[in-house]
Structure 1
Amino acid sequence: MHLASVRIITDDVPRAAAFYERLLGMSAERPVPQFAVFRAATGTLAIGAAETVPEPGFADAHGGVIVEFQADSPAAVDEAYQGLATRTDSLVQPPTDMPWGNRSLLVRDPDGNLVNVFASLPR
């Protein structure tokens, strides 16, 4: 598993993407309207619409940031979930197949920060 990105959750993806395009001097990849991503050699910044997280009001309540780790396979996402199964207080969303092609597990770290462990689903 490796650090994949930091994702900002917003109610206005086009506005946020335009800001970061101006700041970074590069265009965002926009695979779907609810998502934008900036990939650089040193890291990735992702921007997601509020509906990409299962928690209403997330952006306002939590500063709108998610730390994301990419697992090697969807099975590895399930294994991470099993490893946290006794920590039910940290669970936000069990492993779920997302419409954009990832299997995703959302948990909170001990300080309440949202952590996404995900892997690409087979096509």
Structure 2
Amino acid sequence: MTPHFDLIGMVVTDMGRTLDFYRRLGLAVPAGAEREPHVEVTLANGVRLAWDTAETIRGFDPGYTPPTGSPRTSLAFRCADAGEVDRWYAELTDVGHHGHLPPWDAFWGQRYAVLHDPDGNAVDLFAPLPTPAG
């Protein structure tokens, strides 16, 4: 059998702040999960998204050190339309999350914005732009 993609794992420094960020984006994170060292949710497509504290990772990888520099991966959230991209970007930055690139109309035909979650991971918001009538 060939392995199949099943889980995206992320290491967090503040579980509560991180889970609040992803709850605001609509993920069904269980109540009280912020007190746990490992949390995971199953997304609509069956893929799991998990968060672990650095201490949890060091429990099996004592040499673990958090990466530095710019993110090399991102999670992308599709929004209903361009207005939703703007609304979610504003809502998340209004409560103190880092807005990296404010919403813009990208040349590839999408309204796009980039935030950083509390650990600096890139989180993209996008929606298709309406096609011009013609």
TM class by smaller structure? 0.3 to 0.5
**Higher-RCO chain (CA-CA 8 Å, sequence separation at least 6):** 1
Structure (1 or 2) with the greater strand fraction:
1
Give the structure-1-normalised TM-score: 0.48
Bigger radius of gyration: 2
